[in-house]
Amino acid sequence: MSSTLSALLGLCASLARADRDLLFSTVPDPPGGSSGSWPFTNGFGGSDGVTNAEVEQYGATDSLGLPALTVYACTSASGCVASTKYVSIDQNWLWYTTDITGTSANTCDVTSGTSGCPDSDCSQCTLAQPASYSDTYGITTSGDALTLPFVHNSVLGSRVYLTDGNTASSSYTTFKMLNQEISFDVEMTQMGCGFNGALYFVEMAPDGDMSTGAQGPAYGTGYCDAQCPSDAHTKPDGTANAGLTQHVCCNEMDLWEANQAATAFTAHPCQTSAGDAIVGPYECSGDGCDSLTTSGVCDGSGCDFNSYRLGDTELYGSGYYPVDSSQKMTVTTQFHAPSGVLQSIVQLYTVNGNIVKKNEVALNSVGSFSNITDDYCTAENDAFAGLGTFAQHGGLTAMGASLDRGMAIVLSIWNASDSMVWLDGVDGSGAGSVRGPCTQDTSLDPTVAAAASVTYSSIKYGDLDTTYDPASTGSPYLMLE
């Protein structure tokens, strides 16, 4: 395995979870060498990146050539109906240039501010799309299946979204999930300790901030989450995020963060210190950007349900476990709101035709829980000495309001070395610190990393109990005492 890949994996070892977006990836060379530049420079470019011939320029109504993906909208009355969406990679995996054909000597390092651009305000710099996601990123689709490799040429990881169309004017697909459910199949290859295959919702602007100056969903702009990331290389108004100083926050609902050793799903609501709802992307400042403290406008830690952390260590894993992560499985998440206010978030699995539900787990003397409710989140916070930030930011009521307004879907693969222990290892000390069985990060092994990938398929969303087969055989699994 090349020394370049080993160096890239070493770079990831320095990341913390709160910085997951700052150095989420490494990217291939820009077109034409000096004729364009990636949004951030990492020093690991090679000759196996994008060439001039692989770059395309598109008008507002031209087809962009984004990969197509079939998804299904389901109702109790009509069953599941297929539709075509398109896969758009985040802007951080694209590049900025003043000449998309790669013949100019002008560069655009927008994160350095005007000093990195050929003009005074970087207005001449635009995002460019590769002609082939498969050649550039290794990302492929086939029918309703999307495969994201962890390593392709000099690229590590990826973060992609779904759009309604295949032109520069297309919007992100909006999922309104209150009192609804979503299911998807997932297959993980060589995704051991230290990796994270994630599928989640964030309340991005449907137009990717295009109305305020950004290039929009077809170019992966507008990302935000409850960690209040600063990695976006343009601000919501489309201007350069010089020095990566502008943080953008929004509500986040993690449906699936997992590798073959551990998994969790987590609600991350946002609310201002005055108790006002945060709707869509929110540009924070100062302590308001610190989502891991009570000063932040978002609950970056979130209310998570990780069965291993809660004492159910025999539910999930590779091999003999009821939820066998070496197998293709269906993950279903339900958002129950019978009175119009989110009351519970329930997750279940279908593995080899068997439905596996989470066992009830006891938290101190408060009670036993098998899904996320406000009572569960309070009990978890008290049992694990939390800061109370979930309730502070509006709890399930705020999370449900965001789901009702509509959220964009994010699909990704990434690693962060020892900081992934919040998912699969021992994070700190005391009650709740043991999140999973991992003691060694396999993602830094170049051979393992080169083979790692995740495939998401058969994404279905709609009415409760319509996106999976409720008649499947129930699992006889019971948690070991």
> 288 to each of 151, 226, 274, how far by Cα in Å?
35, 11, 12
Read off the tokens for 254.
Answer: 């993690």
Read off the tokens for 332.
Answer: 């279903």
Helix (H) / strand (E) element for 373: namely none
> 190 to each of 2, 260, 294, 446, how far by Cα in Å?
19, 8, 37, 12
Q: Going by C-beta distance under 8 Å and a sequence separation of 6 or more, which residues neighbour residue 137?
A: 28, 89, 93, 130, 149, 152, 155, 158
Task: Provide the 3-class DSSP secondary structure of residue 159.
Answer: strand
Helix (H) / strand (E) element for 398: namely helix 395-405
Q: Is 380 a catalytic residue?
A: no
> 324 to each of 234, 258, 358, 457, 463, how far by Cα in Å?
41, 12, 14, 17, 27
Q: Going by C-beta distance under 8 Å and a sequence separation of 6 or more, which residues neighbour residue 75?
A: 462, 463, 466
Q: Is 257 a catalytic residue?
A: yes
CA distance 156 to 154: 7
Task: Tell which residue, 234, 225, 229, 232, has the closest CA to residue 247.
Answer: 229
Spatial contact of 449 and 413, defined as CB atoms under 8 Å apart: no
Eight-state DSSP code of residue 311: T
Rg, the chain, Cα only: 21
Eight-state DSSP code of residue 339: T
Spatial contact of 286 and 293, defined as CB atoms under 8 Å apart: no
Distance of CA 269 to the CA centre of its chain: 16
Task: Tell which residue, 35, 80, 68, 56, has the closest CA to residue 139.
Answer: 68
Spatial contact of 66 and 172, defined as CB atoms under 8 Å apart: no
Eight-state DSSP code of residue 389: H
Q: Any alpha helices (H) in 100-204, and if so which ranges?
A: 133-137
Instruction: Kindly name the residue from 257, 360, 380, 481 that is annotated as catalytic.
Output: 257
Read off the tokens for 199.
Answer: 């599928």
Instruction: Kindly name the residue from 181, 187, 203, 252 that is annotated as catalytic.
Output: 252
Tokens 């598109």 belong to residue? 58
CA distance 69 to 71: 6
Distance between terminal CA atoms of the chain? 44
Catalytic residue numbers read: 252, 257
